[in-house]
Chain A
Amino acid sequence: MKKRIISLLACGVIAAGATAGLTGCGEKGITVWAPQVQQTLVKEMIDEFLKENPDFKYSIKLGVCGEDMAYANMSKDVEASADVYGYANDQLMNLKKINAVAKLGESAKAKIIADNDAKSVASCEINGEYYGYPYAADNGYFMYYDSSVVSATEAQTLEGVLSACAKAGKYFLFNQKEAWYVGTFFFGAGGDYTIEWEGTSIKKAGSDFDQKPEGSEYSYGEIGAMAHIDLNANKNFVNADDSVIDQYLSGNMLGACISGTWNAAKLSEKLGDNYAATKLPTFHSSLTDQDYQMKSFAGYKCFGVNPQSKHLAEAHQIAAFLSGKAMQEKRFDALQIGPSNKEVAAMDKVKKNVALAALAAQAPHSKTQESLPSSYWDPMKAFGEGVNGTSPKINKDNYKEYVKTLINDLKTDNT
C-alpha cells in the first residue's frame, strides 16, 4: 500500500518531468566557457565576433570554467558541457579519453601550425592530429626578484640570490610542497620523466633519476634531492605558496621568489621600480661541485570544441576566432596573458613585459607539461614535503633511500 503510493507519486514526477523535458527541447545556442577573470573580456570578444559575422544564426552564451578545471567539468556530463571551452594542455589526454574534444579539420590545422609557436601547437597534438586552438603560452614559472636586493648577475645563480638575500635580511621564496615545482632540481640535474602512450592510456612511464651524468658518482635523483635538502637548510629560504608570497610582500621581506605570471601584477605594484624577473637561476650541487640550470614546466592553453556540440562547424568558427591573432593581442592588453601567436609574441609591448620576457628566457630550459598522471604528482609532492620543514623526514643521511622510493613510485608499467 505504502509502496503503491510511492510508485504512484514516482510516476507523477516522471510524467511531469517528461513534459518539462519536451518543452525544454527548444533551440539551444552555443555555450562558451572561459575562466572567471576573463568573463568580461570574453564577453567583449563574443560581441566582436557577432559584429564580424552579422549573419551568425545562433545565440552565444558565456559560462565559467577555469582552464585547469576543464576536465573536471566536462567529465560530469559532456553533452551538457560548453560547445567551446579553454583547457590547459596537460588535460588533453583525459579530455580525449572521454571524447570531449573534437579533432581539427585540415584548414584549421594548417592555420594553427602557421600562426602559433611550435611548442604550443605541439601541446594539443596526439599522434599527428590536433585537438585545440592554442591561445596562451604562459603557464610556467620563473624567478621574480627585487632588483634593489639582488643584482642581475646575482640573479643568475641560486647561491647568488641566497647570499644577496642574506645580506639584505630578506628571503628567497620557493614552493617545495607543490609537485609542479619539485621537479625543477631533478630535471635541472639532467633527469627526465617520460611517458609512453598507447592511445590515451599510459603504457609505460617513469624517470631516469637513477642514471648518472657522465663522470659522476651521483645520480640525477641524488643531485636533485641534495639540492632540495641544501635549499631547505638555508636560513634565507622560505617554503612558500601564494599566501606566503603575499605575506612577505606585505612585510617587505621578499628578495626573490619563484612563481608564474598570475602573480606579476601584484609583484610589480609592490616592488615598483625594483620589480624584475628572469629565468630560473642555476644551482650548485654540493655533491658534484658543479652548476646546473634549474628547469621548469611549460604549459599552454587551448580552446577545445565539444564533439557533442549541436553546431560543430560554428563552434569551430568561434574557437578559431577566440584564439586568433587579434584576440590574443586583446587578451594581452587586458590581462597580460602571454600569447602563443608568433606575431603577437614578437610585438614590442609583449617583449617589454617583464614577466613574459622572463618566461621566454626560461623557455629553452623548460619541459612541456604533458598529461601527467597522479603517479607523477603524488610521489613528487611526497618528496617535496619530505625534504621540507625544521626536522625534515628526508635528510642528508637517508636521502639515497628516499630517492630510490621516489624512482619506484614514479614508475608505471601497464604492459
Chain B
Amino acid sequence: MAAKKKLRSKKAAERGTNAAIYVVLVVISIIWLFPFFYLVLQSLRGEQGLATMYFWPKQWTFDNYIKLFTDTSIFNFPKWYGITLVISVVVTVVQTAIVLVTSYALSRLRFKMRKPLMNLMLVLGMFPGFMSMTAIYFLLKLVGLTQTFGLVGLVLVYVGSSCMGYYICKGFFDTIPKSLDEAARIDGASRHTVFIKVVLPLSKPIIIYTVLTSFLAPWGEYMFASLMAFGDQDYYNVAVGLKEMLNRETASEYFTRFCAASVIVSVPITVLFFWLQRYYVEGVTGGSVKG
C-alpha cells in the first residue's frame, strides 16, 4: 500500500515537472516565433512602407506574395529563387560528401599526416575570410569561372573549403564502436567497403545534420554571390536580390514584398527540417549499437 502511494506521489511529481516543462516550452516557443510571426504580419500588410505605427495591419492582403511572381519587371524573384535552389542542392550534395569523407578519414584511418592535418584545418578557419575574396575571385577569373560561368564558380567557392567543417561529423564517427569495423575487416572487407557498408548506414543523424546545415548556407550568403553576379540580374541569388529591394529608392515600396519573399524562402527549409527530423531522431534512437 505504502509503496503504491509512493509511486503515485512520484507520478504526481513527474506530472508537475512535465507541466512546468510545458510552460517553459510554450514561453520559449512564443519568444522564438514572435519575430517570425511579425515577418508574416508584415508580409500580409496591404499598406506600403518600411514600418507602421500600429502592430496589426489595417488592410490584409496576399498581393505581396502574388506580385512576387507576377510583377517581375524590376525584381525577378522566381528567377533568384530557382537559382538559389539549384545552387543549394548542388552545394548540399557536394559538401555533404566532402564532409563525410574527410571526417571518416580523420576518424577511422590512421596515416602519418593525420594529426597535423586536423590541426591545420582547425586553424585555417581563423583567418579573416573577407580578405581572401579578391584572391579567390581572380583565381576563378583565370579559369573562366566568373561572369558567364559565375554560378559554377560560386558553387566551387561554397564547397571549396567545406572539409574544414569536419569537427562535429568526426566526433560522431568517433562514437561508432571500432569493433564493428574490425569484424568487417576480418570478413575481408576493404576500408572502402567498411565505410560504405558499415559506417555510413549507422550515420543517418550526422548525414542529415550535414545536409541541413549545408543546404541552408547559400540562401543567406551575400558577399560572394554579389561579387560573382557582378551586376547581372541573371545571376542573382535570393540574398543579393532581396538586398537590392532594400535600396533607398525602393525600400518603402517593396518592404512588404521583401517580407513575403523571406517567408517563401524559409518555407522549404522549414519543411525540410520538419521532414528530415523524423529520420534524424530515428537515426539517433535507432543506433542502439552505440554507447
Q: CB–CB under 8 A between A and B in the complex?
A: yes
Residue in chain B with minimal CB distance to A79: B141
Kindly state whether residue B144 has any CB partner on chain A within 8 Å. yes
Kindly state whether residue B103 has any CB partner on chain A within 8 Å. no
Q: What DSSP secondary structure best describes chain A's contact surface?
A: helix
Cβ-defined partner of A250 (8 Å) among B52, B144, B247: B52
Cβ-defined partner of B247 (8 Å) among A21, A33, A66, A77: A66
Kindly state whether residue A234 has any CB partner on chain B within 8 Å. no
Kindly state whether residue A345 has any CB partner on chain B within 8 Å. no
**Contact at A248–B53, with CB atoms within 8 Å?**
yes
Kindly state whether residue A247 has any CB partner on chain B within 8 Å. yes
* Distance from A253 Cβ to chain B, minimum over Cβ atoms (Å): 7
Complexed CA–CA distance, A253 and B52 (Å):
11
**Which of the segments B2-10, B177-185, B229-237 contacts the partner chain?**
B229-237
Known contacts A63-B231, A247-B53; decide if A76 and B143 are in contact (CB<8 Å). Answer: no
Cβ-defined partner of B249 (8 Å) among A17, A31, A35, A244: A35
Chain B residues with a Cβ closer than 8 Å to the other chain, count? 38
B134 surroundings in chain A (CB, below 8 A): 76
Known contacts A39-B74, A242-B251; decide if A64 and B145 are in contact (CB<8 Å). Answer: no
Within 70-122 of A, Cβ neighbours of B (below 8 Å) are at 73, 76-77, 80-82
**Contact at A77–B142, with CB atoms within 8 Å?**
no
**Contact at A250–B49, with CB atoms within 8 Å?**
yes
Complexed CA–CA distance, A76 and B136 (Å):
12
A265 surroundings in chain B (CB, below 8 A): 253
Known contacts A246-B52, A247-B50; decide if A80 and B253 are in contact (CB<8 Å). Answer: no
Residue in chain B with minimal CB distance to A68: B248
Cβ-defined partner of B248 (8 Å) among A2, A63, A242: A242
Kindly state whether residue B146 has any CB partner on chain A within 8 Å. yes
Complexed CA–CA distance, A266 and B73 (Å):
21
B244 surroundings in chain A (CB, below 8 A): 36, 64
B47 surroundings in chain A (CB, below 8 A): 250
Q: A36-B249, A37-B249 are in contact. List 11 more A-B contacts (CB 8 A).
A: A21-B142, A36-B75, A39-B233, A65-B231, A76-B227, A77-B146, A81-B231, A246-B51, A246-B255, A247-B50, A250-B49
Residues on A lying within 8 angstroms of B by beta carbon are 2, 13-14, 16-18, 20-21, 24, 31, 33, 35-37, 39-40, 63-66, 68, 73, 76-77, 80-82, 242-244, 246-251, 253, 262-263, 265-266
Ordered by A's residue number, 25 sampled pairs between the chains whose C-beta atoms are within 8 Å are A2-B113, A21-B142, A24-B144, A35-B247, A36-B75, A36-B250, A37-B249, A40-B73, A63-B230, A63-B231, A63-B232, A64-B244, A66-B247, A76-B134, A77-B137, A77-B141, A244-B51, A246-B51, A246-B252, A247-B49, A247-B52, A250-B47, A250-B49, A262-B248, A266-B49
